[in-house]
Each structure stands twice: as structure tokens, then as C-alpha cells.
Structure 1
């Protein structure tokens, strides 16, 4: 099974229209405010830092390029071919690798695991943007890619983000400019209950090794000039049996 054509078309349209300049996409925050913070939280739980890392849902590859400087191999994967084209243009030095992957296609995910071996996995804002029926499949893809030795860092919007986004959408002047394309392309963030987030991983047979809260940094500013941040939470997961005693 794979994602619906509507979902694929929405992402292709979004990334075809996305600006190329850094920070042009609302969630394209600089690594110092995203992947660098996340790696600090993941690093104590890594069983093998020498494993490659897969940036699942890499988009234009901003975070992938950062990870490529800290792991032997960083592979950015995304559903959207347009996103991957942009990621490659933004990486003229070829620091990272990029390839298309439908994370809801278990055969494709197994083939990638066979190619890479066990891998660490970085996921930022993918599950809440997935169709409800696809969320367990995305988590299963993470489980497959981890194998026996990998660890995953997963960062997603919290329930409270829905209210913040609602306020932004209904502001007197309308949504902030960088938020408008998200809704116009039909990519409105979906609600994932806070309690459901870790249970998705436990149900897949993964151990949840650590959890916490950390705002999702955006590249958009409020009317008063402050940078908009959205409530979010994170977890580190590993294969069953990896949890500390």
C-alpha cells in the first residue's frame, strides 16, 4: 500500500512552489534551532554513532546537510520528487545523499534497509502531517530502518499547536505569509493526540527511551516581530529490548 495520489500531489505542488532561499519555508529553521538541539537529545541514546542516519521526510534537506557533517552518511528521503530536486540544488557540494521513499510502502523501506543496514533515523514533523491510517505505517518504516542497533529521534507538533495555528489563521490580516502555502496546498497540520504519539511506537514493538517537550522553531514572525514557535514534543525510540533496566 502507498500514499494516496491526493496526498502526493499536495506535496509535489507545495515543493514545486517553495522558494529556494534559506528560511523560505515556514518550518525550514536553521539547524541551530532544530537538528542541532535534537541531536544533543539523541546522542546519549545512540547505540552506534557510526551508523548512517536517515532523515525521513527531509524536504529541502536543510537538516540533512547538518547531519551529514556529524554521521558517516546522511541520507535524506522524501515522498516528493520536487522536494528532492530542491534538496540536491541546495547541496552543490554533495554533502548528503537524497532518494525518494514512500514510507508507507514496506517493500521499499525493506529494500532501503537492505542497502544501508541498520540506521539511526531523524524524523521532524512527518507523523502529524500524515493521514491517520498512514501513521502506523510510517512508524513501522522507522522500526524497519532501525534494525537491531539504530535509534530514532522523532519530533512532532503537540495538541496545543492546533490552537496556536488557529489563532494565526484567523488573525485580522490573515495567516502569516509563510503559513499560507501550507493551507493552500491542503497540508493543514493534522491533530495527533499527545497520548497517541508514544503509543504509536510502543504498538510497533519499539521502546520509548526518552521523551520531552521542545517548541518547533519556525522561520515566520508574529506581528510584534518575535519568531513564531509551535508547541511540540519529542521522543527517542529504539528496537524492542533496548530500554534501560
Structure 2
């Protein structure tokens, strides 16, 4: 099974039209507002001597943070343009980056063989994947974890759709960063809340811990406050 060409081209187009400037993507929040807080939740369960794989790494902002806290960090993204940006942003080679579709079961299996058991960081990927791809994405997490790895999964909830609708309904329409997401045909918060734990279970993953959270964005409300999207987090292991 492979990801749809529409979906692949949407992401290629998005990243080609996003600059290298930090925060130009709406979700490209500073790691202090993202991966750092998530690692506090993952750390009690994860072995830091194992590698960590950042699935859907985009331009690699979070991957580079993870690289300082695990033995090895690898960022994976569907988009070649995203991977190229991630490499440009990391001239010291702090992390590694490669293009891979999470629906490519053979490619994921090959990566798992090369890495051995690994931890996984998956931030806001399932919710905006095409519906047929959500289970394969979860199975990719399970394959990479192996027996000893632990995964952190954070996904937008349905409540975030109302927040985005409110943001888009301002006097000038959607602000620029959100407009670019919509113009490229990307669909934030497209999965139902109950679907995320269902696809995790279907992939053979056990939820070790979970709770509500909010994913910080780089866009602001008219009063200057940061946009935060309601989400839920899960720490998972192979069942």
C-alpha cells in the first residue's frame, strides 16, 4: 500500500512554498513548547540509549532537539522538500534525515532492521493523514518500536477544528500560515477522536499513559496570544 499521489504532492508543494525561516510553518513551534514537554511525558517509559525516530519530521526542528537527548535521532518525512530543508537546517549533522512514506511497509521494515528497537516521536501525523493511511501509519510506529522501544503520539482532537475555524473567520480571513495549509489541500484535525486509540490498538500497540494537551502553533490571535490546538497524547509500546 502506498500513500496517495494527491497527498504526496500536497506535502511537496507545501514544503516547496515554505521558507527556511524558523516558524514559517504553522506547527514549527520552538522545541521548548513542543518536544521538550513531550519528552517529560515519554521519559519515564523510554530507554534513552535506544535511537529515536521522528516520524513526519518536516524541517527537523524537533528532531534536532531529540538528537541531544537520545543516542541517535533520525527524522523521516514523506516530502523530499521537507527532508532537504531539514538537512540544510542541520549543517553539523546533529540528526539524520531520510525520505520515507510511512505506508511503505517494506521501507519501514528495512529501516527497523537497520536501527533495531527504537523509540518513536509522532506529533500530529495521524489526524491529517488520508483515512486509508491511518492504520498503516500506526503499524509503522509498532514496527519501529520492536520489543524495547516506546512511542510518543500526539494528535489533534475534534475540538481543534473549532479553534481553526475561529482563526480562519477573522476579518481578513485565515492568517497567512493557516491559509497556506488550506491552500495546499492539507486537512488538519480530520480524524475523529475515537479513531486514534482505535488505530493504535489495531496496530498492536498498548497505551501505557495518555492525557489531554495542546499543540503550540506559530500563528497568533489578533490580541497577540499564541494559537494552541487541543490535542491528546499517548505513550505506547508493542502489546
**What TM-score bracket applies, with the shorter chain setting the length?**
over 0.9
Q: Which residue of 1 aligns with 2:40?
A: 40
Q: Which residue of 2 aligns with 1:180?
A: 179
Q: Which residue of 1 aligns with 2:101?
A: 102
Query: After the TM superposition, which parts of structure 1 deviate over 3 Å for at least 4 consecutive aligned residues?
Result: none
Q: Are the aligned partners of 1:130 and 1:190 in contact in 2 as well (CA < 8 Å)?
A: no
Structure 2 counterparts to residues 25-104 of structure 1, below 5 A: 25-46=25-46, 48-104=47-103
Where structure 2 has 5 or more consecutive residues not aligned to the other structure, the ranges are: none
Q: Which residue of 1 aligns with 2:216?
A: 217
Q: Which residue of 1 aligns with 2:4?
A: 4
Instruction: Provide the secondary structure at the position in 1 that maps to 2:139.
Output: helix
Deviation of residue 190 (structure 1)? 4.1
1:185-240 per-residue CA deviation (whole Å, 9 max, x = no partner) reads 00121422222211211121111000011111001111011111111110000011
Partner Cα separation in structure 2 for residue 124 and residue 133 of structure 1: 19
Q: Are the aligned partners of 2:160 and 2:189 in contact in 1 as well (CA < 8 Å)?
A: no
Partner Cα separation in structure 2 for residue 187 and residue 143 of structure 1: 25
Partner Cα separation in structure 2 for residue 201 and residue 129 of structure 1: 15
TM-score, L = length of structure 1: 0.96
Q: Which residue of 2 aligns with 1:134?
A: 133
Partner Cα separation in structure 2 for residue 222 and residue 131 of structure 1: 29
1:122-178 per-residue CA deviation (whole Å, 9 max, x = no partner) reads 001111110011000000000000011110000110110011111112222101111
Please tell me the root mean square deviation across aligned C-alpha atoms, in Å.
Answer: 0.8
Partner Cα separation in structure 1 for residue 102 and residue 201 of structure 2: 18
Instruction: Provide the secondary structure at the position in 2 that maps to 1:181.
Output: helix
Q: Which residue of 2 aligns with 1:145?
A: 144
Aligned length: 239
- The alignment status of 1:23 with 2:28, answered yes or no, reads no
Where structure 1 has 5 or more consecutive residues not aligned to the other structure, the ranges are: 241-245
